[in-house]
Structure 1
Amino acid sequence: MAAGRRGAGLRLCATVFLLDMAFCKGFVEDLDESLKGDLAYNYRGPRTKDDIIEFAHRVSGALIRPLPSQQMFEHVQKRHRVFFVYIGGESPLKEKYIDAASELIVYTYFFSASEEVVPEYVTLKEMPAVLVFKDETYFVYDEYEDGDLSSWINRERFQNYLTMDGFLLYELGDTGKLVAIAVIDEKNTSIEHTRLKSIIQEVARDYRDQFHRDFQFGHMDGNDYINTLLMDELKVPTVVVLNTSNQQYFLLDRQIKNAEDMVQFINNILDGTVEAQGGDSILQRLKRIVFDAKSTIVSIFKSSPLMGCFLFGLPLGVISIMCYGIYTADTDGGYIEERYEVSKSEIESQEPTEESKEQEPRSGDVLVPTVQGPKDVLEKKKD
């Protein structure tokens, strides 16, 4: 009996192993497909298994996948939260759509379909057309209002309301939109936290046509990342509006009690009434360098005080010893030079003294007139 169980267990393990090998083989083949041809796609999404597998499946297939039937369209709509569809035949718009897909396939899905395949609730004013399906509705690309097709797809590839994190905020920087975030504590079920989140969701849903070109909405759990980003301490709960393209941000100038207050706050930002803080000026960059250095040092000492003392104490000790050695060397050199100057001055002062002593007899000699002797006087008289 035990041998039978052991054999069954071995067969189960072998089956699991073979399944894992098959999965890994298929996954690697999918990734290899992303490198075929003239294009190589780099994955920039979250480092999770599901996201990586989805990326591999997305880039391994056709650039633009056809939807031949309504059943296939419904299947795609249930599977993907955001996807783009080109409707129509050959046209310059389709060429632009293909170019945009080759650039943005790493982020989202692209499909093509005929007018008969799309749901009946979709109404099109003209053909061909590009649509995005998300948030249980659809939006049509308008070249005159939305500008470049690639830029429009890059803006619309996000759902209107998102759970924010650092990676997502980085991606939103390419959209050029302002990001309105409710900073809350998701573990806190008090009315202050839940109310702000509900207000942001309501504005994102009910005022989408008014703000979707300029704003992205969402919430973030905790204020740690926001504090690091803004170099400030924000109280939770609160609302902050970020301009991820130039690192400016806007803080509340009023108490938000309902959606109307939030709409008024957004309108004040758009018309310039609310003052922007932060930015990417030289002063802010210097402030960022100091803040990052301070944060790094504090985090090291918090996580491992002994390691922090070693990392910063040892270099400071070495630098202190070097400075002390340089200072004492300069002092000794100055003392020796000073003694040399004193000795030299003493020697120079002694030399004039000796010369003066040698010259005293010569200078002291007085020319005394010579007294003529008697003999000389007589000789003169004889003459």
Structure 2
Amino acid sequence: MAEVKASLFYGVVAAVLSSAVLAFVEDLDDTFKETRVNDVWLVDFYAPWCGYCKKLEPVWHDVGAELKSSGSPVRVGKMDATAYSGMASEFGVRGYPTIKLLKGDLAYNYKGPRTKDDIVEFANRVAGPAVRALPSKQMFEHMMKRHDVLFVYVGGESPLKEKYNDVASELIVYTYFFSASEEVFPESVTLPELPAVVVFKDGGYFTYDEYEDSSLSSWVNKERFQGYLQIDGFTLYELGETGGVYIQFVIHNISFSYTLIQRVAKEYREHFNRDFQFGHMDGNDYINSLIMGEVSVPSVIILNTSNEQYFLPSEPIETMEQLVQFINGVLNGSAQAYGGDGVIQRIKRVAFDARSTIMSVFRSSPLLGCFLFGLPLGVISLMCYGICTAESDDGSDDIDALKREGLTDEEEEEEEDRQCAAELEGPEEGENEEDDAGEKDPEEKKTD
């Protein structure tokens, strides 16, 4: 009896906790359009059959619980985009899952890693004002410790400030934007003129130049990355959106080349920054797929993210001068370009990826590889054998059917009766005589 009561108690507790977790995430329907106007919403548009959506579901509950417990004004919800396809298409949902933060008439897409901390940080950043104020030196120093890259507008009202506000509203999905007076900066920070837009990163600061850096949006989009960073699949996608060329160092462990790339990134920033992004990538799987071969580790490669062309040094790079010469060769067009995004290259890359996948399966598990690829081939072979060795009919039934075409029902019955009668009567007289004649002895044939 005591065990039954205990099990009931734990069942009730589990149900209460489960309902509490579910309360952090609201199920949305077609009335959401009218009720969302005055609130900030973080919404997961999902499909019930989507595997990625199911994988995101527990993370999404954690996001709702985190924002609720921290007192965030952001409300978390989820919507079945297949059941409410009209609303999903109205919000521009084209795949599952799609995460959007809805603030007033604006909708911000989330494109980062699908982890609780990253999604919560995105929600808190975008839900707040596009440009935040830094009122004191203490606040500036605090923000410098928290952020690797910090954009600050300095000055009063101006056309540059309007542009800065517009850029902040557009790119707040990626980074924070601040405004401050010149007094909040350390004495080592000197600005040539005001107003100005300054980015603090890599242990220094750099000022936007309207005449050399093209548009403010393009400048911010490139400067939001550190001068040297670790590149993964998501960072690679973001770098591709900037439209620039970046240098990528493939490495498994720290070596002298790792430090060499960092030195070039720091000392030649002013010379290469507008064209290059420096970084390293752990592992060579992506590079092998790109060049359709096996690249040694460590190696240096330059990739043009706008057209997927890549450049390889003609000889191993061991000094900074050799690396700078290699980069200059890419800039002046003397270095040979490989790859590209043409149709033939894409077909070759797909074939290489398929072959690599098959080989990896056989290397990791030969039995599984034989089953996955041998079974379909065996079935196809049996089907082909059966088709090729099938016996064909003599076609007599088809001929009879053709003969009967065009006859009436009475004529068909008469034809069938005639055939039956002929079969009962046996062979015709002429045929019997011929048979008898064929059976005579040779002597009788002579007498005749």
TM bucket (normalised to shorter chain) is 0.7 to 0.9
**How much does 1:228 deviate?**
2.3
- Assess if the C-alpha contact under 8 Å between 1:27 and 1:56 holds in 2: no
- Name which of 297, 308, 311 aligns with 1:250: 311
CA distance in 2, matches of 1:105, 1:135: 21
Q: Tell me how far apart the structure 2 counterparts of residues 282 and 149 of structure 1 sit (CA, whole Å).
A: 35
1:236 matches 2:297: yes
Verify the 8 A CA contact 1:30 1:56 in the aligned structure 2. Answer: no
List aligned pairs for 1:82-101, cutoff 5 A. Answer: 82-101=149-168
Shift of 1:24: 5.2
Question: Is 1:181–1:217's contact at 8 Å kept on the other side of the alignment?
Answer: yes
Please state if 1:313 is matched with 2:380: no
CA distance in 2, matches of 1:91, 1:202: 38
Does 2:108 match 1:41?
Answer: yes
Query: In the alignment, what sits opposite 2:392?
Result: 332
> Residues 246-286 of structure 1: CA distance to partner in whole angstroms, max 9, x if unpaired?
11111111332211111111111111111011111111011
Secondary structure of 1:197's partner?
A: helix
Kindly indicate whether residue 124 of structure 2 is the aligned counterpart of residue 57 of structure 1: yes
Is this contact kept in 2: 1:181–1:220, CA < 8 A?
A: yes
The worse-fitting range, judged by mean Cα deviation, of 275-284 and 316-325 is: 316-325
Of structures 1 and 2, the one scoring higher in RCO (CA 8 A, sep 6+) is: 1
5+ residue gaps, structure 1, are 1-16, 187-192, 341-383
Question: 1:181 and 1:321 mapped to 2: Cα distance?
Answer: 50
SS at match of 2:242: coil
The 5 A counterparts of 1:130-149 are 130-149=197-216
Distance change (3 Å), C-alpha of 1:140 and 1:59: same
Displacement of 1:195: 1.2
The reply to whether residue 25 of structure 1 matches residue 68 of structure 2 is yes
Give the structure 2 partner of residue 268 of structure 1: 329
Q: Find the aligned partners of 1:40 and 1:309 in 2 and give their Cα distance.
A: 49
Contact 2:72/2:124 (CA < 8 Å) preserved in 1? no
Measured in 2, the distance between the counterparts of 1:105 and 1:303 equals: 44
Which residue does the alignment assign to 2:193? 126
Residues matched between the structures, number: 313
Counterpart in the other structure of 2:281: 220
**Alignment partner, residue 4 of structure 2:** none
Are the counterparts in 1 of residues 290 and 349 from structure 2 also a CA contact under 8 Å?
no
**Whole-Å separation in 1 of the counterparts to 2:395 and 2:385:** 18
Percent of aligned pairs sharing the same letter: 64
Contact kept? 2:148, 2:201, Cα under 8 Å:
yes
- The aligned residue for residue 355 of structure 1 is none
* 1:30, distance to aligned residue in structure 2 (A): 5.8
1:207: which partner in 2? 268
1: CA distance, partners of 2:206 / 2:75: 34
CA 1:318 to 1:125, structure 2 compared with 1: closer, same or farther past 3 Å?
A: same
Judge conservation of contact 2:199–2:205 (CA < 8 Å) in 1: yes
Larger Cα-atom Rg: 1
Counterpart position of 1:103: 170
Distance 1:27 1:284, change over 3 A: farther
1:198 aligns with 2:241: no
C-alpha displacement of 1:237: 1.6
TM-score by length of 1: 0.75
Corresponding residue to 1:285 among 336, 339, 346: 346
Deviates more, 1:318-327 or 1:96-105: 318-327
- Which protein has the bigger helix share? 1
The one-letter amino acid paired with 2:297 is V
Aligned AA (2:139): M
Matches of 2:286 and 2:280, distance apart in 1: 12
How far apart, in 1, do the equivalents of 2:294 and 2:307 lie? 20
Contact 1:91 1:128 in 2 (8 A): yes
Q: In 2, Cα distance between the equivalents of 1:31 and 1:324?
A: 64
Counterpart contact for 1:27–1:53, Cα < 8 Å? no
- Partner-residue secondary structure (3-state), 2:315: coil
**SS of aligned partner of 1:59:** helix
Per-residue CA distance 1:278-332 (angstroms, 9 max, x = gap): 1111110110121122123233334444443333333323322332233234x73
Shift in Å at residue 35 of structure 1? 2.5
Residue 217 of structure 2, aligned match among 135, 150, 168: 150
Give the gaps of 5 or more residues in structure 2.
1-16, 21-61, 77-100, 400-448
Structure 1 residue 185, shift from structure 2 partner: 2.0
Match for 1:69 among 117, 136, 147? 136
Shift of 1:80: 0.8
Instruction: Provide the TM-score with structure 2 as the length reference.
Output: 0.64
Taking the aligned partners of 2:280 and 2:219, their CA distance within structure 1 comes to 23
**Distance (Å, rounded) in 2 between the aligned partners of 1:24 and 1:124:** 39
Distance between the aligned counterparts of 2:190 and 2:72, measured in 1?
40
* Distance in 2 (alpha carbons) for counterparts of 1:215 and 1:200: 12
- Shift of the alpha carbon at 1:233? 0.5
Aligned to 2:47: none
Q: Structure 1, residues 181-239: CA drift from partner, whole Å, max 9, x if none? A: 222221xxxxxx61111110110111111111111111222222321233220011211
